[in-house]
Amino acid sequence: MIEVTQSGAQLTVRLSGTVTQHDYSAVLEPAMEAALKAEPKLLVLAVVGEDFQGYDMAAAWEDTKLGLSHLGAFDRIAICSDLGWVSTAVRAAAVFLPYPVKAFPLTEEPSAREWLTMPK
């Protein structure tokens, strides 16, 4: 499941359970498109809960398409998770992305929010 909230240029995306293609098409994509109409660059905080089980195959493809089609849409992305594989994947992907990406433990969500808004 995906839940999205917006405050100005910042989107908070909460992931739990198994994320499906429907979560992308019905929740995340419309929220991003609406945010991008108002803001040229987005700050994204993704909070991956302990109950996150992963993506189904269609959602994994949607995630790839969404990321590639919006490469220039992000200013920074922070990921909060206590799942070791999520933090490892974030660090591995960060070297290929044209914007800063940083992983934080769930307990450091306030620090992640602060990092998103720090001057470059």
Tens of pLDDT, residues 8-48? 899 999 999 999 989 988 999 899 889 999 998 999 999 99
Name which of 48, 12, 10 is nearest 28 in CA terms: 12
CATH 3.40.1360.10 fits 2-114, yes or no: no
Give the three-class secondary structure for 15: strand
Q: Read off φ and ψ for residue 43, nearest 5 degrees.
A: -105, 125
Note the pLDDT tens digit of each residue in 67-119: 777 778 889 999 999 988 888 888 888 888 888 999 999 999 999 999 999 98
The residue behind tokens 């499906």 is 20
Q: Residues 15, 8: contact at Cβ < 8 Å? A: no
Query: pTM for the full model?
Result: 0.89
Asked whether residue 63 carries a pLDDT value surpassing 80, the answer given is no
Residue 96 DSSP symbol: T
